[in-house]
A and B are shown apart, each in its own frame.
Chain A
């Protein structure tokens, strides 16, 4: 079963994954999302790795969720898509990882700007509930998270992953 996790815990009643979300906000693929921008309601978009996130620029202020897809854990394109969304386009609303979302990639996803995660793997869900992410608190590069610059070299950052 898919569970939605954010850094504040498991999300109950996530509007995007409810089966009866008929009148809730819509989650659309890129092409439809660009069309949907004609009406006024806020909406969500789900992108595939080959989609150009920059196409979202005109509809950005209407988006309340962007879901980026990891078709396999080894396909890292969504990490770059996330960086572009956050850093280049300045997207501020929810950024969700969907597809193959595994425990060891979540710390990297957090750094590149993801803040919600659709997780199916039971041991992973347990570790997330326990707040035992297997990451490192020290970083050698700026990214899209809120990591703090530390004294010393300009490229270093720190953040408390399980704090």
Chain B
């Protein structure tokens, strides 16, 4: 993974002292809260319902064990013993004291981490495929490009006061695990006919109150032009994005209102002027950044094949964990392991300080010191030998980290909701917990198969409900919490926005409604090999609506 050099260390140290100075000026009254707000946001500090919240960047979701241990330490010393992994591959601490934050930032800097641009109307932490560097289907590792974008966007003088926040995601496989079509810029690393690397470029995706899928504006951008082209997009957006209404300020609205063709022309015209300038990426620089991401030396471990089969036969719990949470690696003797942060009845994405320590230790012992955070709020050990899966599983079991539910109905994404968030209309976490408890039976989950439930506590859609196979949105009606359901959303390469089923359900009805939807799916699927989303796309919303509202509609 990328390692800071002297320049990076000095930069982060300077950023910490800059923030310390800003906090002092705020405390002395030299700056108003209004002027301070964007400054603290640009350093990941939110003011929430009960306390300040600190969001720490995990660039493209990649961590080593030393960094994970530091996060555990921060959770233990400065928070209440927990951290919360988010859908943007970051980690959030919900209870730090404002006065401790400069000290936390200094601790983070020791392990080459920071909170820069995890919030605010600037270019946010760049996200990437969590299987990057290990997946069999990628054309190249996308993270070096995410790293180049991270560096280039850090304290960007022109793009720190954009109309609204700006999110970039990078993937390198046809199978999109980074949800690039719901980002402001989505980049898909690919090869042209001559085998040269470049990007398909998408712009204008986003969720929030106006969910829109991104439009492809370039089929192949040579890698050397990455920064000049992104600069052209940013400049056009900075100058022309709407600033009169914050709900219409994302680039998706500019794309929508200007029209993708006209906007693409403007971007291309700007790019023509920038293309051969200082932003052109020299091959040597791209190679140097790539070298940091060289895969670990993976020794042959063919003995794992036989062992794995034997273990699976003798332990059904292990077998179902392998079936759900272990994915093929590009090296046949290795696997990518998902560590579920969705224990039955737990808070999605939460990890205790002890669990963070355990993951750090296991990554060192079995995982070549590499850890990933997924946008589905789980962790991944990307390079584990098949021969090590059994001891890894045993160790995860003792720390409550072996839930075998990756991709299943209890692998729920939920935003913080009314339990923490000042903007929430409704609670998200208790809804996730109740659904998880209701569907706890592993056999039942396995029978239902792949199903993504995503829950947001308000229309801002932090919980990605628009792209959930089943999306749940908390709304407020006459002082009551109500949950609206949408069906058929998807955040992958076949991205789609879910359709609302009808009127919402109360907190005591929502889990029953999910049961009804699941039962309707089970009754209608062609067989166990037709997953929920395929079945929904085949039969449409009507059978589900009839099941949800039918009898009552007749009674009325």
Contact = CB atoms under 8 A, between A and B. Distances in A.
Q: By DSSP majority rule, is chain B's interface helix, strand, loop, or mixed?
A: helix
A42 interface: no
A36 to B, nearest CB: 25
Contacts of B235: 80, 83-84
Given A138-B11, A140-B11, A153 B157 contact: no
B161 A152 contact: no
Interface in B297-312: none
B18 A134 contact: yes
Contact of B151 (A109, A135, A155): A155
Interface in B213-265: 227, 235, 238-239, 243
A92 interface: no
B15 A136 contact: yes
Contact of B30 (A73, A74, A123): A123
Contact of B285 (A77, A104, A136, A154): A154
B30 A154 contact: no
Interface in A61-113: 73-77, 79-81, 83-84, 88, 102-105, 107-109, 111-112
Interface residues on B, range: 35 or more
B229 to A, nearest CB: 14
Interface in A109-139: 109, 111-112, 123, 134-139
A29 interface: no
B366 interface: no
A73 B35 CA distance: 8
A47 B280 CA distance: 31
A152 B7 contact: yes
Interface in B28-56: 30-31, 35, 38-39
Contacts of B239: 77, 80-81
Nearest to A123: B30
A138 B21 CA distance: 17
Nearest to A136: B14
Contacts of B157: 79, 107-109, 111-112, 139, 141, 143
Nearest to A108: B157
A72 to B, nearest CB: 9
B10 interface: yes
A135 B160 contact: no
B159 interface: yes
Given A80-B235, A154-B282, A75 B156 contact: no
A140 B281 CA distance: 13
A134 B156 contact: no
Contact of B18 (A109, A111, A136): A136
Nearest to B38: A74
Nearest to A104: B39
A150 interface: yes
A75 B243 contact: yes
B152 A104 contact: no
A58 to B, nearest CB: 18
Interface string B143-161: 0000010011111111111
B158 A156 contact: no
B5 to A, nearest CB: 7
Contact of A80 (B21, B31, B158, B277): B158
B209 interface: no
Given A123-B30, A134-B21, A108 B160 contact: yes
A155 B227 contact: yes
A162 to B, nearest CB: 12
A140 B153 CA distance: 7
A139 B161 contact: no
Given A76-B160, A104-B39, A140-B154, A153 B285 contact: yes
A155 B279 CA distance: 7
Nearest to B227: A155
B121 interface: yes
A73 B160 CA distance: 11
Contacts of B14: 136-138
Contact of A155 (B15, B152, B243): B152
Contacts of A139: 155, 157
Contacts of B193: none
Contact of A83 (B158, B160, B279, B280): B158
B96 to A, nearest CB: 22
A38 B407 CA distance: 70
B22 interface: yes
Nearest to A153: B285
A80 B35 CA distance: 21
A128 to B, nearest CB: 13
B278 interface: yes
A74 B121 contact: yes
Nearest to A105: B161
Given A79-B157, A79-B158, A136-B15, A154 B281 contact: yes
A67 to B, nearest CB: 18
A152 B5 contact: yes
B234 to A, nearest CB: 8
A145 B158 CA distance: 12
A150 B151 CA distance: 15
B194 interface: no
Contacts of B7: 138, 150, 152, 156
Contacts of B153: 140
A102 B35 contact: yes
B406 interface: no
A74 B288 contact: no
B273 interface: yes
B431 interface: no
Nearest to B19: A134
A130 B277 CA distance: 36
Q: B21, B151, B278 — which one has the most chain A CB atoms within 10 A of its CB?
A: B278
Contact of A142 (B154, B243, B279, B282): B279
Query: Which 10 A-B pairs rank lowest in CB-CB distance, beginning with the nearest?
Result: A76-B161, A111-B157, A142-B278, A123-B30, A108-B157, A136-B14, A138-B11, A140-B151, A79-B158, A80-B238
8 contacts: A75-B243, A80-B235, A84-B235, A134-B21, A138-B10, A140-B155, A141-B157, A143-B158
Given A84-B235, A140-B152, 17 more contacts: A76-B121, A76-B161, A76-B238, A77-B238, A80-B158, A102-B31, A103-B25, A104-B39, A112-B157, A136-B11, A136-B18, A140-B151, A153-B151, A153-B289, A154-B282, A155-B148, A155-B152
